[in-house]
Structure 1
């Protein structure tokens, strides 16, 4: 069976400040780089990785670079914009707490109506989910039966994929908290079936 390891990027300065990131070129903190290097060490010790894929945004590319600092045997990454976070348009850069006090209907942790709300210059949830679903279908079509793929991506992408491979509703999944920075969500593929093995774990901390 094939394995796909979904790794969220390391901590960024905007993660720490609680800002809406979207497509912003945010950079990792020192702690975020440490997280990524620890993830790389775990991958080098515990997994044989056949393919490495990353979103094109700065925080995921930087995470991938740091992962490879301690896992030099990993293959060269494939950079793919299809795996980037949802675009939040004019909300990008705002402090989430302040923004959602002003616009509570757009708070994904308080109102499912946010699924229907699209800020100016942003992606709708439907457009975002369609993009991720198309990328997932493309990845699955090319994964070998015993291949292990590491996908360095974003919290929103991980949540969409969790809805795709479990019985959870998209509403429940997309409005949940994002997995921790540099956590791993493991999916196992067997033909047309996909199974969730582990969610949001940080095995490199053990």
Structure 2
């Protein structure tokens, strides 16, 4: 079984900022969202036996809060940058309204929900990712870590971020590039796959 969870609300979610790889904590609302997901899973008898998380504290904290509510102890945790949020380049730290003033609403919309190969302006270190870049970096993680864990019979909890999870959902469900950008994954939301065949729909 596989459970995908977007981290709970972060401080920059609350202030409507492009967060990307900036390491910001959960709000109290976000901590509550994580606990709610944990109780929801526990109430359905879904107890993770393996956890995969991004390196970012908002995902790591969400994972630990879920495990506490699930009464799951001594669960192996893999933390990997391949599950990090999309790097938003020069947009990181900007509010969406400030980005619209600087770049225009149409361009900001393209960066957020446009073509999967649309990159934001890079930061001073030349960094910035499209959704296609995120998909590419996830490939080795899916083949070497995720699928083997599920095939071994684990209940795998993956805690990540909206854009990173969109690319995972695309692989798992076989949705098109046009469809994947419309998928909404609210903070503290879970997506459950209960059969290995769900993971093999895409070759």
Shorter-chain TM-score: which interval?
Answer: 0.7 to 0.9
1:15 paired to 2:13: yes
Structure with the higher strand share, 1 or 2: 1
Q: Report what 2:154 is aligned to.
A: 147
* Distance in 2 (alpha carbons) for counterparts of 1:126 and 1:63: 26
The CA deviation string for residues 36-86 of structure 1, in whole angstroms up to 9 with x for no partner, is: 112122223321322111111010011122223322324142212211111
Q: Contact 2:115 / 2:177 at 8 angstroms: preserved in 1?
A: no
Q: Contact 1:108 / 1:115 at 8 angstroms: preserved in 2?
A: no
Q: Contact 2:3 / 2:191 at 8 angstroms: preserved in 1?
A: yes
Q: Report what 2:164 is aligned to.
A: 157
SS of 1:152's partner is strand
SS of 2:196's partner is strand
Distance 1:165 1:27, change over 3 A: same
Give the drift of 1:145. Answer: 4.9
Runs of 4+ in structure 1 deviating by more than 3 angstroms, as ranges, are 108-111
Give the drift of 1:115. Answer: 3.1
The CA deviation string for residues 81-139 of structure 1, in whole angstroms up to 9 with x for no partner, is: 21111111211011123313432324247763573334212123332110123322221
SS of 1:78's partner is strand
Q: Report what 2:29 is aligned to.
A: 31
Q: Report what 1:102 is aligned to.
A: 102
Q: Report what 1:135 is aligned to.
A: 141
* Distance in 2 (alpha carbons) for counterparts of 1:29 and 1:184: 18
Distance 1:29 1:119, change over 3 A: same
Q: Report what 1:53 is aligned to.
A: 52
Moved more, 115-124 or 46-55: 115-124
**Structure 2: 5+ residue runs without aligned partners?**
none
